[in-house]
Amino acid sequence: MTTAATPSPSPSRSLSDLVADGVVLVDGGMGTLLQDMGLDDGGSGELWNLDRPDAVRDAHRAYAEAGARVLTTNTFGGTRPRLEMHGLADRVHEVNEAGARLARKEADRVGALVAGDLGPTGELMAPLGTLEPADVQELFAAQLRGLVAGGIDLVLIETMSDAAEAEAALAAAREVAPELPVVVTFSFDTNLHTMMGLDPAEAVRRLAAAGADAVGANCGRGPEEMTRIAAAMVAARPDGLLLIAQSNAGLPQVVGDHFEYDATPADMAAHAVALRDAGIDMVGACCGSTPAHLAAMSDALR
């Protein structure tokens, strides 16, 4: 068992403080912004934490200035299997610590919190694959040691489809940073189920029982479907659990030689209000979103 790392100093306000003031606005998609800045399709956005830190910090700054009060580290693909695809398997700690420090600098400017981002490993767990829960927990723990060293305030386990993988990530968070709140989101993009067959109500119940502080949904097929998912989560919520929803900015459409998502800032603003009114505590955006979407959401929620 690895001992917990010592986190860097964090803002005086906590996630519970922010939630007490009303719905918390989380930031939007990072990949969209980095691609606009020149990230090649299939390239490692996480490597930009080391090679192009100013660009990553600019993205965080844009979301902070748009009103986001939780900034998500640029570490979605920061586990060893994901980084190994880009020849970076030996730089897990370095990539993740750098990502956390970049977000930390911008968060401190506006009094925001930093969420250390853990995305799926891309590996299948037994019995469909070969990885056991302890193996997956260690992959996430290695990533988290770097994030904690960089000064995160909470852990965001996102875009999960397998409850067992999410539980392994949650166990890693409790091992490495037991004092930090943990938020878990799933992608319900297959007829209101995850790819592994999990529905929103069961996701809420299972991860709440595992000890998550907040559970919810991200990505998906756009605001309309996310509203239905949110209603199912609210109905299943046990006392004391926070809920989070971060929809894609609609669906991608081919425009010339690239994709554009079809939900406008006004669409996402109306969606944010609907989520708040439904009882969601943390609202953000995902793929295809930009600071313009977040700014409209921030204005609407105020």
Q: What is the pLDDT of residues 102-159, one digit of tens each?
A: 999 999 999 999 999 999 999 998 898 989 999 999 999 999 999 999 999 999 999 9
User: 251-287: string of b/e by CB count within 10 Å (b at 16+)?
Assistant: eeeeeeeeeebebebebbbbbbebbbeeebbbbbbbb
Residues near 256 by beta carbon (within 8 Å), at least 6 away in sequence: none
- The answer to whether 56 and 49 are in contact (CB under 8 A) is yes
What are 176's two structure tokens?
Answer: 């490495």
Give the H/E segment covering residue 109: helix 92-110
Residue 7 scores a pLDDT above 80: no
Please state, in angstroms and rounded to a whole number, the distance separating the CA atoms of residues 293 and 103.
Answer: 19
What are 217's two structure tokens?
Answer: 């949904």
Compute the mean pLDDT over every residue in the chain, rounded to the nearest whole number: 93
DSSP conformational letter for 26: B
Q: Which region holds residue 19: left if phi is over 0, alpha if psi is between -120 and 50, else beta?
A: alpha
Please state, in angstroms and rounded to a whole number, the distance separating the CA atoms of residues 299 and 268.
Answer: 11
- The answer to whether 276 and 238 are in contact (CB under 8 A) is no
pLDDT of residue 80: 97
The pTM score is 0.93
Binding residues: 219, 286-287
Binding residues for Zn(2+): 219, 286-287
What are 96's two structure tokens?
Answer: 């993740």
Segments making up each domain of the chain, as ranges: 15-301
Q: What is the pLDDT of residues 185-208, one digit of tens each?
A: 999 988 999 999 999 999 999 999
Per-residue confidence band for 12, with pLDDT thresholds at 50, 70 and 90? low
pLDDT of residue 8: 41
pLDDT of residue 252: 80
Q: Return the CATH fold of 15-301.
A: TIM Barrel (3.20.20)
Q: What is the pLDDT of residues 32-83, one digit of tens each?
A: 899 889 998 788 999 999 999 999 999 999 999 999 999 999 999 999 999 9
pLDDT of residue 4: 41
pLDDT of residue 186: 98
Q: CA 53 from chain center: how many Å?
A: 20
Residue 216 scores a pLDDT above 70: yes
User: 96-114: string of b/e by CB count within 10 Å (b at 16+)?
Assistant: bbbbbbbbbbbbeeeebbb
